[in-house]
Every structure is written in structure tokens, then in C-alpha cells.
Structure 1
Amino acid sequence: MANQNKIEQWFESRKSRKKDLKANHLWKGVCSGDRFELSKAITLIESANHQDRVEASKLLKKCISSKKSSWRIGITGVPGVGKSTFIESFGKIILEKGLKLAVLAIDPSSSISGGSILGDKTRMDWLSNQENVFIRPTPSGLNLGGVAKHTRESILLCEAAGYDVILIETVGVGQSETLVHSMVDFFLLLMLAGAGDDLQGIKRGIMEMADALVITKADGENLTKAKLARTQYASALHLFPPKENEWIVPALVTSSIENNGLEEVWKNISDFFTKYQAEGCIQLNRSRQELLIMNQHVSELWFSKMENDKKYKVELERLTQLVISGKLNGYMAAEELAKSLIANPS
């Protein structure tokens, strides 16, 4: 009898969970600013379950129709630069302005186990306990750019929940990290002073994308080095081609421990949004980003469809063997495969 009751309780909890993950139910909670419901909504869009994907699609359509917006700010930097510490201190500045803050912190995942640390909440101890703050650590998995697959959708949900500023913290700097630039309005690059080579191996392309360059940990004995680094970076930035929107990228110094320079960072960001929202540049940039997403997703859907197609698998195997044997190179095989798919669509 006891076991029967446990089974019935389990079924009831499953029914309750399914109800909780319905788009209409979650939408009410998200719109009311309920952080627990927002967390469940993000869990829903991250799910690979077919039924969950259906509900997630309904929920995202509601987000788009709500027409709410925010300041979307990407934060990246070399490992050890203190991204989470910077966000903890910078978040206080944002809250003092009477704004609500969401932080989507992308944690590194192991390429072997797929596990991630998910420790950002512990590194942002004060911020995570504030009523007007929502922090969501999400494992990056193996996705290009170190940005979790559904971060874009999480941004929409946070906007619908009424968050004014959304910070997206990435796992670090590298060629793949530039993906964060395709989903934000303002791109903040954090750097260290006195960490070996002045440019620290930072790719030229990443520096060109930055809307502000901030040298962190400018305190104590490191203050002089930080100021020197700012001068060097400012000179380097002048060598880059001007931005399309003619924004002049500042090089700034900050200390999260001493709370120095953070107001200046906020002023630059505020000036950026004030200027370019009025000129329509922010909306134009977002439209371009959405078109990029559309093209990327079409490619993903097409490839996913082909992977399950028998004709495709047979032809791919045939061409694979020709490449291995040296009778075709990779480009020739790809072109032949494309011609075959066009001539014999499923």
C-alpha cells in the first residue's frame, strides 16, 4: 500500500511538472518578474525533449510579441582577468541607478565529461542575494564561441521579465569567443596589465569588435602598470579602422576591489546607448543579428535533416572513401555531394 502511494505521488509530481512547464503558465510568472518561474522558463528552452521544444517555441513567440527591450552587454576577457569580480562590483553601480540586472554567466564545460563548474553565483555572493538581480550560470557545452546554445532565447526571457540590463559573461577570449558579439549591443573587453606580452595574444579581430576596453585590477602596485597599459592600448585602438557607427572606443582602468573607474565605464556605456538608440543604430544592429541567426539555423536544420536521410548517408560514405583513397580532395567531395543532393532531393 505504501509503495502504491509513492507511485501515485510520483505520477502527480510528474503531472505537476508538465503543467509548470506549459508556455501559458510560465508566461504569467515570467511577466510578473518571478525569478523562480524565469529559471524554469530557461530550463524549458534548454530542454531537448520534443514536447518541451514545442512549449518553448510558444513561449518565445510571446516574448517577441511583448516588445520589451534591454541593454544587452557582452563581457569577455582573458582567463584570470576577473570577469565575475568585475560584474559583482559593476552590478552595484547598475542597481544604484534603480535598474534591474540579469547576468547570464556561461561556464566552461569539460570536453571529456561535459561537466561544468557553475560557480558564478558563489563568485558573485553579494549580487546573487539582491532582489533586483537574476543570475543564471549555464554550461557552454561544446558550442562554438563558448556561449550556451540557447543564450539568445534566455535574453528574450529576461527582457520579458523586465530586466533593464543583461550582462553576458563568456568563458574567455579566443577565436570562437567572438560569437558573443553577434547577440549583444555593446561589447566590453577586459584586459590585464603586466601579464607578459602587452597584447597578450589577443586577436586583432576581437579588439576591433570591442566597444570599450577595460584594464582590470588597477590597484596597489599594479596601478602604474595599468595606466601604462591604458596608454598603449589607446594608441593601438587608433590604428584600427573607424567603426561603422563612428563610435570612438575608450581604453579605461578599473579596480573592483577599490571600486575605482566603474562609474566611468557606466558613463561610456550609457552615452553609447543614448546616442545610438536615438539614431536607430541599436535596432539596425539587432535586425542584422537576427538575419545571421536565421541563416545559421537554416544550415543547422538542413544538416540535421540530411543526417537522417538514407540517400545522404550512402552518398556521404561513398565520397568519404574517395577522399581517404586520395581520389578526391575535401572541396571536390563537398561539391559533388551538394550536386547530388540538389539533383536527387529527398
Structure 2
Amino acid sequence: MSRHLLLLLLLFVLSVLCSVLPSAETTDTTPAPMWPPHQRTYDHRPTSDPYCAAGIYPFCPTGLPPGRVPKVKQTDTLYVYAMKAPVWEFKFGDLLKKFDIMHDAIGFHHVESGLNITMEWYELFQLFNCTFPHLRKENNSYELQWCNQGAACLYMGIDEKHWRQNGTLVKISQISGDIFNNFITWSLSDNSTYPFYETWTVMAGPGKTVWFNPFDCASWVLRAFDAMHDLGAEFDQKVHLNYTKVVLYSQQPTLIGNSSTIYNDSKTLDTLVSFYNYFQKRSMADIVLHMLEYAAWFELHKKFYIFYNEQYWELDMVKPYFQLTYDEVPLPGKH
């Protein structure tokens, strides 16, 4: 009988403890991933490795340095234009327009002076380098060298033929000089805060959970429109604009290491080297244009790896694996 009483007493004590102690879920110091994670912020633009170079086409060759951005009177008027052109139009003409692969930019027309200004955000070291690392062999082992930065480029003039011929040049707003000056201040801050490019959108499936958002030219334009709206700009809601996304579909991503820890795990490093080596001798244009032909590769491997916020994530791919989307995003202010 005493044994039964002892057991009952023990169960009573345990029940009391369970009622007053927090559960393991609430005391876990490792928070569950928040999807999609925010792009990491910086207080200044990191210095790029001397190994990284822009290649044939330098970044922003005719762009204005930060201190040379024109200031206008607070009461001046500027027209704001949304501008689109096919990616790599200089090389492929309107070919990528057929796939809805478009580059986005913003144009400004200063009414009082007649001056035009173009602003666009793109890769410092070209798209392939922002999407896949270089494999540098050091002491019989590989280093994953990323040449990945993006930035806003501002230059005088608007090449109307370039934007109109195969794309879009449409007026979306009329702002004051005060809004424009404050927007330029915002763009300088944004340039230092978000210095890295991200090609991929990663989702659980069409219309399902977004695991990772892209950080590209279209993302910057949408962010810029929001900033202008916060500063007081009103947008023409009759204008409808679509934006390109390169989407990968996968189950919930798995964190496998960061830019330092992968070098302490030879198996993970070998996996990443093998994966990225597959893409080393291909141009980004070739990868995008022939991505659907890689369906057999996805079917065989069902794995993809991305580098986001200086962390490596493994994707367990699900059908349809890959898709190019061109969806409408309303201008700010639409209810």
C-alpha cells in the first residue's frame, strides 16, 4: 500500500511541476525559422575581394558619384516613369521578352529644366557571379568565392528607344522636388544597407509558402516605389505592371552551414563544390534559356543549394521544380 501512495505522491509532484514550469517549446533558445527571412542589413557596403571583376561590361560606367546627384528646388515638379527592357537586350535583342525575362528601372523627368535621369539597380559583377560562386583551389582544397553585390546606378538621360522598343516606358507619378530630394537620400542609404543580390525566389509550390524572396532589379524598383509613396508620392492606379521572378520549388529549406562553418565539414563542402561545379562552364543566359531542359537533372538529383544572408541552404526540390513567373504587383496606394 505504501508503494501505491508513494507513486501517487510522485505523480502529483510531477503534475504540479509541469503546470508551473515553462514547456520545452517556450524555453528553446533557437527560434524557428521565419519565412521568408528578411534580407540581412549592413551599416556600410562591404569591400569586395580584388578577385571579383565586372568583366566586359563595367558597372555603371556613366553613373554619377553620390555627391554629384542633382538637387532640385523643393517646389519643382518631376515626372516618374516605370521602365522595362528585356534582360541582355544588348546581346539577344528581344529574345528574352518572349520568356517575360525583363529588367526594371525608374526614370525621372525634371519639368523645369527638361533634364532626364535614369536609376536602375543591378549586379556589380554580372548576374552569373551573383548566382553561383567561383571555385578557387587553395592548397588542394576549394574555396567558394562569391562575387555578389548589387547597387543602384544613377545617370543622366533616358534612352527612350531602349525602353520603348521592346519594353515599357510609362508615366506612373508626378512628384515634388522635395520628394525627389528625400528619395535620393533614401536611395543612398538603401545602397549601403542592402548590398547583396539574390537571383532566386524559393517557394513550397505555386501559390504556396515563400521560403526566400529575391533581391534584384525588380525588388529594388518595388522598394523604391514604396519609399516614394511613404514620402508622399501618389501613383496612377490605372497603370498595371508585371515583374519577373525566377522561382525554385522545394520543401522547407534546411540550413547546412554558413560562409565559415562549411570549411569545417568536408562532406558538406564536397557536396557544395560538386553542385556548383556543374554550373561553372555555363553562362547565366544559357542557364536561364535552357533551365526547362534541366528537368531531367532535377528529377535525378532533387537537390539545389542557395546562399542567402551568408548561409548555405539545401533545397529538397518538388515538382514543377522551376518556373519563370511574370506577375502583376499593384503600385503603392491601391486598396
TM-score w.r.t. the length of structure 2 is 0.19
Answer 1 or 2: higher relative contact order, Cα 8 Å, separation at least 6.
2
- Larger strand proportion, structure 1 or 2? 2
- Larger helix proportion, structure 1 or 2? 1
TM-score w.r.t. the length of structure 1 is 0.18
Structure with bigger gyration radius? 2
